[in-house]
Amino acid sequence: MCSNAIEYSHLCPHRRRVLPTASHSFRQRVALYGVLFMMGADMFLVPMLIPAIAATLASSIAQSAFTVTAFGLAYTGSGPLLAGVVHSWPSRRIIGVGLAVVVIACTTAIFAQSVAMLIAARTASGIGAAIVNPAVWSRLHTTTADHARGRVILGGTAVSAAGQVVGIPLGTLVAAHCGWRLAFAALAVGFVAVSIGTRITTSRDAGFAEPEEGPQGLTGSLSLWRTPAFSLAIAANIATQAARLGVYSYVAALLLHRHALHGAGLGAIGILAGTGSLVGALLATATVSRWCRRGWPVLGLSATGTAVVFTGIVLTAAPVSLALNLFGVAISFAAGIAVFGTGQFYVASAFRGDRTAISWNSSAMYIGAAIGTFTLGFTAPGSTAFTVASLAFTGVGGVCYLVAIGIGDRTS
């Protein structure tokens, strides 16, 4: 072993691959965290721009809001498919191509002269994010030793949540004083910066694709669902995210009706949710390694988080004080992001190197948000039906996790 790197050639007898040093792995991890931070900021900044976009482009709030929906639909619809298409590419190339698509999309949004053009730009951003995210999570999994991987993966969810915390107030401030086009310009610059960072830090082994285990290609995307533990884990994540994000879609209307909360007060809900996500991700990051060292299945931590989401929804929907309602929002977001992060760690570990599997778990958040929002739309916010439907989602999530544990957690 040389002092600067570890070399091996057993993957290919004619070529030699150089693994990065610890310091290089750290720089690479920072660059990947930068991508996740920007993705979090992008996802939660744009909704804050909707009123300003509607005023500038002479459209309704509902029409402008479809820019957010378009991103989610594009990500969900293209993620697993694209992961199967590019499964043989090295992650460096995948991240570079995906970020290039996102930068072009953000630049297009700056000059959009109609809602239709902006929707097209956000659709492209969703596709770019769907290309980037699975490769980032898969690559992140390889930047540290086995014993620290849970902490590193959960750290990624904390960084993404930090982007959310920054994105919400920044979007509100920029839209109010500088115009929404400047917000997209800032996103474009940020994505260019993290693209350069990942390009530099992953240059040492750029010519190699990380070996993937399990089914590959387009058929592999669907064949994964024949694995019971995988299908149960993804279904559980979808159900849990449907509960917390579905309720969040209507929490403004609920609190406006119940407590006459409006204006800056409603904006504070988003900041509270983002802060809850950050705290939850940090707590999960600090907990996951100890949890696994005890020999407990990581999906048990996901199931515990689902139980906390259940409690948070009860407090959010119940006719109690405003403080308790807001506390419910905070803890449901804290636990919900922990559920997502532990699920991401489980999939990245149990299906190591399979970016298609990681893509399905990443898409679960968007699928859950769509299902939860659509289903709860048939109920009145705060009604018994609203609460029962929300809690039913968490119940399904919890049961799926428990069954998956019973079948066998492949990370334990």
pLDDT level of residue 72 (50, 70, 90 thresholds): confident
- Average pLDDT, integer, range 19-46: 80
State in Å, rounded, how far the first CA of the chain is from the last one: 31
pLDDT digits (tens, 9 = 90+) for 178-202: 888 998 999 999 999 999 999 888 7
Domains of the chain: 19-210 (1.20.1250.20), 215-412 (1.20.1250.20)
Lowest mean pLDDT among 105-109, 218-222, 375-379: 218-222
Mean pLDDT of the chain: 81
Residue 21, pLDDT score: 58
Residue 310, pLDDT score: 97
- Average pLDDT, integer, range 282-295: 85
Angle formed at CA 328 by CA 323 and CA 331, multiple of 5 degrees: 120
Residue 262, pLDDT score: 66
Residue at token pair 């298409």: 85
Query: Which helix (H) or strand (E) segment is 78 a member of?
Result: helix 61-85
pTM for the predicted model, two decimal places: 0.74
Residue at token pair 């690479």: 28
Highest mean pLDDT among 8-12, 147-151, 233-237, 355-359: 233-237
Which residue would you say has higher pLDDT here, 341 or 168? 341
Does residue 7 carry a pLDDT above 80?
Answer: no
Residue 373, pLDDT score: 79
